[in-house]
Amino acid sequence: EIYTDVDGVFTADPRIVPTARKLDTVTYEEMLELAACGAKVLMLRCVEYGRRSGVPIHVRSSFSTKPGTTVTGSMEDLPVEQAIISGVAHDRSEAKITVVGVPDSPGKAAEIFEAVAAEGVNIDMIVQNVAATTGRTDVSFTLPKSDGPSAIARLTAIQAEVGFEQLQYDDQIGKLSLVGAGMRSHPGVSAKFFRAMSSAGVNMEMISTSEIRISVVTRADDLDLAVRTLHTAFDLDSVDGEAVVYGGTGR
């Protein structure tokens, strides 16, 4: 059992979406995706330990007697009636590096990411744009802001060796993720996601997906609006009043 300052795991951060709805249960796989994408209520390693050992994780508040949320079970065992989407997560702690004008030949991407790995940096999203007419490509990836300076320094040191033209660094980004085991078997989730972003006027700079997740990178200033828009678009809003964050952190 883990006691925190919220009543359980919510469909979004209650500080940004006051109408976020508490989940009674959520699978290990969905909680792993939510935690990895910025949900603060549980640490990623906590969920992984529970999943590996088959130990249910009961998340509840230190400030109330409400039943909380149980993290347990596999998405393979979900009933047909299970909700398509479990939640919306966001993360402001990442930055983006774009390596501009990389020679479009085998091994260049390996040299770039081997250099970053040598600095002990964890990479999140990766996008490569191939420019066939010029023989060069741009490679963009996200990483923790705290690792940005060391990654830039390392890449600058190998610029002549790799042969890329320049580096661009952007720490004013936000990552938005939609998570739900039900999206595996329901067509149209991606279309609905991108239509919601379009209706809110939110531009997406990078896109990454897994079997049960869609993640995009937006401008940091657009992140709160994007979270609320997506939450409403997928009918996640609660009708039971506003969620409470007793201690103010949501952790």
**pLDDT on residue 187:** 85
CA atoms within 13 A on the CB side of 209: 11
C-beta separation of 23 from 80 below 8 A: no
Q: What average pLDDT does the segment 94-115 reach?
A: 94
Write the DSSP symbol of residue 27.
Answer: -
Longest dimension (CA), the chain: 64
The residue type at 180? G
Residue burial 169-179, b: 16+ Cβ < 10 Å; e: rest: ebeebbbbbbb
C-beta separation of 225 from 202 below 8 A: yes
**Domain of 112: which CATH number?**
3.30.70.260
* Residues 135-175 pLDDT 10s: 899 999 999 999 999 999 999 999 999 999 999 999 999 99
What are the tokens at 138? 């741009």
CA distances from 133 to 20, 100, 103, 107, 136 (A): 48, 15, 12, 19, 8
Average pLDDT of the residues of the chain: 90
What are the tokens at 199? 């209706």
Residue 166, beta-bridge partner list: 100
How many folded domains does the chain comprise? 2
Q: Is residue 100 part of a domain?
A: yes
C-beta separation of 34 from 89 below 8 A: yes
Q: Is residue 242 part of a domain?
A: no
* Residues 91-101 pLDDT 10s: 999 999 999 99
Asked if 100 and 79 sit in the same domain, the reply is no
Asked if 180 and 79 sit in the same domain, the reply is yes
* pLDDT at position 41 over 90: no
Q: Is residue 243 part of a domain?
A: no
100: domain range?
94-170
Q: Is residue 244 part of a domain?
A: no
C-beta separation of 42 from 9 below 8 A: yes
Asked if 9 and 76 sit in the same domain, the reply is yes
Write the DSSP symbol of residue 68.
Answer: -
**pLDDT on residue 183:** 87
Q: Is residue 145 part of a domain?
A: yes
What are the tokens at 127? 């996008």
Asked if 116 and 162 sit in the same domain, the reply is yes
- The pTM of this model reads 0.88
**pLDDT on residue 177:** 97
C-beta separation of 42 from 93 below 8 A: no
Give kind and range of the element (H or E) at residue 81.
Answer: none
Asked if 24 and 75 sit in the same domain, the reply is yes
* pLDDT at position 133 over 60: no
- Backbone torsions φ then ψ of 30, nearest 5 degrees: -65, -40
Asked if 165 and 180 sit in the same domain, the reply is no
**Distance of alpha carbon 7 from alpha carbon 25, whole angstroms:** 13
